[in-house]
Chain A
Amino acid sequence: MNEILHPVQNGRVNGHESRVCGRANAVSTMATALKATGRSADAATKSMEADIPKSTRRARQYSPVAYLFVLPYLIAFVLFRFGPAIVGFLISLTDWQIVGKPNVVGLSNYRLLMSDPQFITSLANTGYFVLLTAPSLILLGLLLALLVDQRLHGRVITRTAIFMPYVVMSTVVGVIWLWLFNKESGILNYYLGLFGIRPVAWLTDPATAMPAVAMATLWWTVGFNMIIFLAGLQDVPQELEDAARVDGASEFNVFRHITLPLLAPATFVVVMLTLINTFQVFDQIYVMTGGGPSLATLTVILYLYDQAFTAFRLGYGSAVAYVVLVVLVALALIQRRLLPESEA
């Protein structure tokens, strides 16, 4: 069994031909990119190079004209991405308000943050939101992908329907769910009422506000995870599953021992992106609750926005931004440890 599985796990079952034609295995490409940010980028580049057919590799001539090709992008990259990422840290070391002269205060913004009850609340709320959304987004994404991968009539319609909310812009998602969750006249409470459940003050009760936002988020983005899992499932060779079935393996065992291990690259991408994206939640919350009621939905990015662009404490806001960055990088590193390294 292992001998059959091994070459597939290395992602080479499609052969080089399909790659040359440009049908590169998209999911594992992205998985490689995401891992590259944790590992040294150089090593990652090398591991990617190993995938490239020999005919396209050869000694290249030294061509200074390359700088002209890279320059326009490089200017944009430095001005709008790299520069701001560095400058952001420097600003976090000052007490910059929008008016007046900034003073260098060292790490005192970070010290203040650690004892700032609103910041602590926002971190806890963000963690709560991630817990509410990430596991269900990942699991439901996988289950839906398995469902619409079955040979059933109308599965394409279901796929399209489930993915469709993802095309809706975040603020529109916010206003739609404001209406659905409305306590007095929202349809959610109406249908729950049919089961004898008294009207819930979804967005105005601190206990239900975050779960409500999480529900809207689930509806909005689960289709995205489903699509990535589906692409992963379609890379799983049918012959392997069939062979196991012939040998008498139950459906569950086929899934557990063949499908799931081969889905590892897709799983990696989904878990990573779900964690990154849910940790940065802002749009829906800004529209649906504005962080309320009584700070129950105040998340870190909301706090960053408030500090920097409502209170105009730019130094302090930058410190919040850097804490977010550190958490994201930590998440990426932890995740690389936990998930098996089995993709190409």
Chain B
Amino acid sequence: MYHRKHHPLRILKQVILYVLLIGATLLALAPLLWMTSTAFKPESQVISYPPQWIPQSPTLANFQYILKNFAFGRWWFNSIFAAVVSTALVIVLDSLAAYAFARLNFRGSQALYALILSMLMVPMQVTIIPLYLLFSSVHLIDTLTAVLLPTTGNVTGIFLLRQFFRNIPLELEDAARIDGASHLQIWWRIMLPLSRPALVSVAIITFISSWNNFLWPLVVSYSDASRTLPVGIGQFFGGASGVSGSAPQFGPVMAAALLATLPAILVFLVLKSYFVRGITMSGMKG
């Protein structure tokens, strides 16, 4: 072992690594910083040569424009509502079923579980047409119910929770059973409290995928009553929509982008370790 700390080659290597580290950080952050900077610029300064990263005369006019002309608050509420309700539903439904698959013996359990797993590779995109017909046949198109319900058919949650439950020692349960606890009590008093990390991960994955979901809400919502943030932004501020087309009005568009992004980033910074664990546990986006 020759740890020559001040060897010239070693120093050169360190310098290169730090240059890469700083370069990667700047490249990753630049688009977000530029969005933020543009959002606070008055229309006359949005386009300037050379680009100004710090607005000369910051203004909130772009935010006022967005809040006045679009049902932004409503999109916000819809997104939060859909994400919270679908996460709650997924946690309850998945943990109940996962408990049965992990611990209880019933006829057909193997076949049923295999059937569920077989859908892991079937993406939402393949099912949107039948889903659309299903919800239109019960007159639920353009409702938040239609936006959020399909999330409950997810497979990842079942898989992760079943795996986790199976690794909880049986002795804990045996003790409870001797005391006369029912399966429901064991699920509630033992499995759920002991599985908090897995439950948090499943909750975060479900929340993110609902919060970001675009294609299905785009298909199923026609009005602000059920329009979520991604859909509102995609429909009104996209390249084909005109707002930012030939005569760019990027100030208001970036204000909307910032309003939609900031909360997510703040939540991410606070719950960072849970995010990372959720991502690595599931490795799943949708």
Minimum CB–CB distance from B254 to chain A (whole Å) comes to 7
Give chain B nearest CB distance to A36 CB in angstroms. Answer: 6
Could you tell me the distance between the alpha carbons of A176 and B102 in the complex, rounded to whole angstroms?
A: 45
CA distance in complex: A69, B186 (Å): 12
Q: Return B180 CB to nearest CB of chain A, in Å.
A: 15
- Chain A: which residue is nearest B159 at the CB level? A33
Whether B214 lies near A56 (C-beta < 8 A) is: no
Sorted from nearest, which 5 A-B pairs have the closest CB atoms? A80-B153, A81-B153, A41-B114, A84-B130, A84-B127
Residues of B within 8 A of A171 (CB): 214, 230-231, 233-234, 237-238
A161 interfacial by beta-carbon distance below 8 Å: yes
Contacting residues, chain B, for A103 (C-beta < 8 A): none
B38 partner residues in chain A, CB cutoff 8 A:
179
Smallest CB separation, B78 vs chain A (Å):
13
A227 to B278, CA, bound (A): 11
Q: Does B120 contact A (CB under 8 A)?
A: yes
**At the interface, yes or no: B176 with Cβ under 8 Å from chain A?**
no
CB within 8 Å of A: which of B16-60? 17-18, 20-21, 24-25, 27-29, 31-32, 34-35, 38, 46-47, 49-51
| Inter-subunit contact A280/B106 (CB<8 Å) | no
Which of A111-119, A127-135, A322-330 touches B?
A322-330
CB of A22, distance to nearest CB on chain B (Å): 6
Q: List 11 other contacts, CB 8 Å, given A20-B169, A169-B264, A273-B285.
A: A22-B197, A33-B117, A33-B159, A72-B92, A81-B154, A163-B275, A169-B211, A219-B31, A304-B125, A309-B132, A324-B125
Chain A 306-321 near chain B by CB (<8 Å), digits 1 or 0? 0011000010011001
Q: Nearest B residue to A154 by beta-carbon distance? A: B21
Checking B127, B128, B264, B286 against A81 with a beta-carbon cut-off of 8 angstroms, the contacting residue is: B127
Asked whether any CB of chain A lies closer than 8 Å to the CB of B84, the reply is no
| Cα-based distance from A39 to B104 in the complex (angstroms) | 25
A24-B275 Cα distance, complex, nearest whole Å = 16
How far is it, in angstroms, between the C-alpha of A187 and the C-alpha of B238 when the chains are bound? Answer: 18
Q: Which listed residue (B28, B234, B283) contacts A286, Cβ 8 A?
A: B234
Query: Counting CB contacts under 8 A, is B88 at the interface?
Result: no
A81 touches B122 (CB 8 A): yes
User: Could you tell me if B97 and A74 are in contact, using CB atoms closer than 8 angstroms?
Assistant: yes
> A175 an interface residue at 8 Å Cβ cutoff?
yes
8 Å CB contact of B131 from A48, A60, A84, A280: A84
Q: Give residues 125-155 of B contacting A (CB, 8 Å).
A: 125-134, 149-150, 152-155
Main secondary structure on B side of the interface with A: helix
State how many angstroms separate the Cβ of A75 from the closest Cβ of chain B. Answer: 9
Mask, A15-52, CB within 8 Å of B = 1, is 00001101010110110011011001110110010001
The answer to whether the Cβ of A162 comes within 8 Å of any Cβ in the partner chain is yes
Q: Are B17 and A152 in contact (CB under 8 A)?
A: yes
User: What are 18 inter-chain pairs, A to B, with CB distance below 8 A?
Assistant: A34-B283, A63-B106, A76-B93, A81-B119, A83-B130, A84-B126, A144-B24, A158-B25, A161-B24, A163-B275, A163-B276, A167-B208, A176-B254, A179-B38, A180-B34, A282-B215, A321-B127, A332-B121
Q: Would B106 and A91 count as touching, CB distance under 8 A?
A: no
A29 and B163 contact, Cβ closer than 8 Å, known pairs A65-B183, A73-B96, A286-B238 = yes
User: Is A30 in contact with B283, judged by CB distance below 8 angstroms?
Assistant: yes
| A-contact bits for B192-206, CB 8 A (1 contact / 0 none) | 001101100000000
Given A20-B169, A158-B24, A169-B233: A175 and B238 interface contact (C-beta under 8 Å)? yes
Interface residue A157 (Cβ < 8 Å from any Cβ of B): yes
Q: Give the A interface residue count (CB, 8 A).
A: 119
- Contact (Cβ within 8 A) B268 A164: yes
Find out whether the CB atom of A37 lies under 8 angstroms from the CB atom of B120. Answer: yes
B167 touches A52 (CB 8 A): yes
- In the assembled complex, A9 has its CB within 8 A of some CB on chain B: no
- Please provide the chain A residues from 54 to 71 with a CB less than 8 Å away from any CB of chain B in the complex: 55-56, 58, 60-67, 69-70
- B73 CB within 8 Å of chain A: no
Compute how far the CA of A219 lies from the CA of B25 in the bound complex, rounded to whole angstroms.
11
Q: How far is the CA of A135 from the CA of B221 in the complex (A)?
A: 35
Pair B268/A175 contact, Cβ less than 8 Å: no
Across the interface, do A62 and B49 meet the contact criterion of CB distance under 8 Å? no
Q: In angstroms, how far is the closest chain B Cβ from the Cβ of A221?
A: 8
* Contacting pair B129 A91 (CB below 8 A): yes
From the candidates A83, A164, A187, A287, name the one contacting B239 in the complex (CB within 8 A).
Answer: A287
The answer for the CA separation of A329 and B167 in the assembled complex, in Å, is 30
Q: A165-B32, A169-B260 are in contact. Are A283 and B214 (CB under 8 A)?
A: yes
| A290 contacts chain B at the CB level, 8 A cutoff | yes
A136 contacts B by Cβ under 8 Å:
no
Q: Given the known inter-chain contacts A37-B121, A67-B106, please indicate yes or no for A179 contacting B34, CB distance below 8 A.
A: yes
Interface string of B98-118 (1 = CB under 8 A from A): 011101111101101111111
For residue A129, give the distance in angstroms from its CB to the closest CB of chain B.
15
Which of A56, A73, A219, A317 is close to B28, meaning CB atoms less than 8 Å apart?
A219
B160 contacts which chain A residues (CB < 8 A)? 29
- Judge whether A65 and B167 touch: CB under 8 Å: no
A250 vs chain B, min Cβ distance (A): 13
Q: In the complex the two chains form, is A175's CB within 8 Å of B31's CB?
A: no
In Å, the complex CA distance between A83 and B122 comes to 12
Among B24, B257, B277, contact of A162 (Cβ-Cβ < 8 Å):
B24
B61 cross-chain contacts in A, Cβ below 8 A: none
**B128 cross-chain contacts in A, Cβ below 8 A:** 308, 321
Distance (Å) between the CB of B149 and the closest chain A CB? 6
Interface residues of B in 201-229 (CB under 8 A from A): 208, 211-212, 214-215, 218-219, 229
Minimum C-beta distance from B1 to chain A (A): 6
A236: Cβ under 8 A from any B Cβ:
no
Complexed CA–CA distance, A164 and B118 (Å): 32
Question: Would you call A168 an interface residue if the criterion is a C-beta within 8 Å of the partner chain's C-beta atoms?
Answer: yes
Q: Is A147 interfacial (CB-CB < 8 Å)? A: yes
